Structure 1
Amino acid sequence: MTSGSEVQAERWPFLQSLPFRVVAFLSLALLPIGLLAIWQTQNLDETLRARTRLSLVALTEIAVSGERQVLQRAVGAASGQAVTYGLTADDPIACSESFKAFQDADPAISFAGFLPESGRVDCSSEPAPFTIGPAERVAEIATSPRNALIPRLRADAPGGRTAVLTQPVVRDEEVIGQIVLTILTDSMSEMPDLNDQNQPLSLAIFNRDGAVINVQGERPVAEEEAMAEDIVRRLSTEPTAFAGQNAAGERRIFVVLTLVPDLAYAVAGWAPTDGVLSSTAYTLPSFFLPALMWLASLLVAYFAVHRLVVSPVQDLGIRMRRFASDRALPQPKNTEMLPQELFDLEQTFINMAYDLIDDEARMENSLREKNVLLKEVHHRVKNNLQMISSIMNMQIRAAKTDESRHALRRLQDRVLGLATVHRVLYQSKELARADAAPLMTDICASVFHDLTEARPHAVHALEVDNFTLVPDQAVPLALLVSEVGSNAIKNLPDTKSPAPFLNFSLRIVSPGMAQFRCRNSGGSLPEKVAPDGGVGRQLIRAFAMQLGGTVEVQDHDGIHTISVEFPITAAIPDALDY
């Protein structure tokens, strides 16, 4: 039964491999370093982005310095006019002259005046009074408690595009109107900045509601549109930098900052190459480089282990299996490149292989010598038994009585049976086993020769399955066949018709079981096997006992059958002394 680890190894061989385990442990070892590298990379990326943002904000501050100066000067002037308006409010001529003098002093101002809730402007830098409409919009502006910067209040204002700055005039805690200053937006663009070397691609001035006051360069949004919602949403006291698209759909980095708090703001568009906040290329995440380095280290470790350890060990395993199968010993590959430990292992295997080859050669020589000696022993025993048979043959010829000759001939048959066993043993390929077919053929040939001399008209037959027997079973089987055959020949009737017969068979009746059977005509005679009787019957029982079986006798319709069923010994047992 296979264990769980063996089943897992069969299902997931890669997970059990040495490179995978080394890489897994190395991954755990490098994990803290990788996390630290990711953290440092993120901090570096955030620091770089913050510095880039600050540099772009600084450049934008320099680029809008002229516009800020114009607006701050206008806001200051409007605040002063709102404070001093009450001194000349009752005298329209003096009031108009005051606003006219103020306009002439500042070329960025194209109009200055007081806007009451009614919309009729009597006090202004214009030579004659006029009315501004529509009334609802004018009333809303005139009563607002907050200053405001409005684009193009009058579409026909002279001097090009303008922006209107309003400053509330308060009397007795009530807004009675607005000081209105019309600012030429071109004057903002023409005002020199602190540094004209680094200019943004676009610069837009807008109020707190997102309405565009002035645009230089490319437009961040479409003309006459309010600033995009994401830009207005980013308005705060601190400058803000973010990536986005201009009105033409081109990618830009925008910086939003305050020109005049709660009044005017500026948004500058920079090319993506001016900073790392955004790029036209895909921006990799901060953990990409540490992860790539971690993966590269794992790949290097994997291939290093495979190159230095796994590949030589696999080559050594292949050579070991080759040596185990056919004792071939191929030469190793690139032993100079092997680590010292694997080189020592390689040399140990080579020395062990040569020792095994030498030991097996000595064992084969020793086994060959033992086989030769054993064959010689069987051969000499067979010769000695035949010599004894020859001496007994001389005794048979010298015997004076038939009883003596018969006894000597029976003993000679037994001796010849033993000699046949030894002859079959030294002629077989396995000296420890005898083939049943040639053994039965030789033994039965002797019995059939005696049958032909005693009963010339008798017929005989032999049926045998070919299998092997150990010597401890071959010897008693040969003696059993000889003894049973001699008894059967003696008991055969001397008739011509029907002719007497003698049949032998040795068959495998079931796995591991064989059966010897002798059938002859003539029925039962005093020499048949019985619980009590002579020497022949005792020998048959003794030989059957040595085979591990029992004797069964049947007489039916004048046919005498004797059978012995015995187990076939698979292993060679220790020699028994009978």
Structure 2
Amino acid sequence: MFLILTLALLPLGLIALIASLQAIRSADLEKEALLRVAVTQSARKLTADLQSDRTALQLTVNAFAHNEVDPGMCRRLGFFLTANEDSDGRFYIYDRNGRRLCGSAAPEPAGLAAGQRFDREQVLLLPQSQHLVSRVRSDDGRMVALSYYSRAHLESAADPATAIQNRQLVLHQGERQLVVSRPGSVFPGQSSSLSARLDPADIILTMTVREPPATVARLLSLFLPLLMWFAAAAIGWFVVNRLLIRPLVILRRVVAAYEPGEVLEPMQRVRTPAQEIIALGDTFREISEDVATHEAEMAEGLETQRKLTREVHHRVKNNLQIISSLISLHARSAHEPEAVEAYASIQRRVDALSVVHRNHFAELEENRGVGVRALISELSASLRGTAPAAARRFAIQIESDNLNISQDVAVPIAFLITELVELAMMLAPLGSMHIAVQEEAEGTNRAQLIMRSRGLVESEAMSAHLNDRYGRVLTGLSRQLRAPLVHDGEAGSYAIAISVLP
């Protein structure tokens, strides 16, 4: 009878065993979901902390670049960074000459050479000094701000709200690796790891969690006497499936469908008396609220920065218009032809700078640089409008690829075109000018600017003008562009290589 009963209850025992295995698998899925949420939250918290400091550094370094620094700005920046880090937050501001303009009294951590301060990487890991350095360059590229973060601060900033024991955090950047957690925080054995990318995307945060050891008691729990399992098999399966497994599956689906910026409300769909699942749902809701708040704050800060930048450009444009108007008023009161032409020459150069600024401001929101074709077209129209009376019929032909250049390149190019067009108008007022800009080869980020006119053919009058003033100006502009200005006297052309944006 005992054998018959044992064989009869054996299928129920197998069902109980399968239910136990499924519960373990669901727990593993829950643990994986918790680990995924934790590493994602840690990455976003660390990204938000770095972005907040970068905004403060950006405003300060731009103020230094525009000579708008008040005596207390450096002290306030140090107070802000120290308050955020809760330690000796170290920061330093340098110019291109390596001169420190502002910074902490503590020595700068090793690992970043002086020649690497203006490199393109926004964030760099320094494993040898156990620091992470964040650098921000000014808009004009003349200043750089460096902020160093210690391993202890990175661990505190990346600490997730989800309680996960025996975890280890490691930052990766290419072949560089920085262990953020305290040494020995993860014991040897099996472990699970998940990674999330920070902003910038070349930094990867990896969280490793130790798996619980396989004990004898845990293994024996799967092979308890079948008679004890059979007594509570039906009720136990119903309870586990209805009150635990299904709520966990629903909770996992809600979390999997999460989109950044939303506020999760998983407990509106999950009905369970299990306090652990309710607490887990509340934790997901709190995490999503924190993420939504941080994203709103970041969006607000970005909008404020855009408004400030737009205001600065608006003031510059107004100042250029005032200068142009003053020159025009003085030119009207002049009676000597030489004075009138001098005022017109000055106004042409002011207009050239104004054209560059307008084109840069038009592309500011998209951050695409200055369009070469639009810049030369508007500049040519302005030059023909202010041409001397003898050169009113001077024609300018434009042939340009669809290229973009930075403002640092656009300003000397505008002045170079202005100087050569003015020289050609003086020497051949009834002639024309052909301006061509062609990309050298795809992927080289270089282009050739060629200007050809009958007035630029080698002659005694041209040599006199070059020796008088134009030669020195053209030489200075070619130095700004860091390329030789090649003159073909027989063809009447000037050519120079310029840098274009990718």
TM-score (norm 2): 0.47
Larger radius of gyration: 1
Structure with more of its chain in helix, by fraction: 2
TM-score (norm 1): 0.42
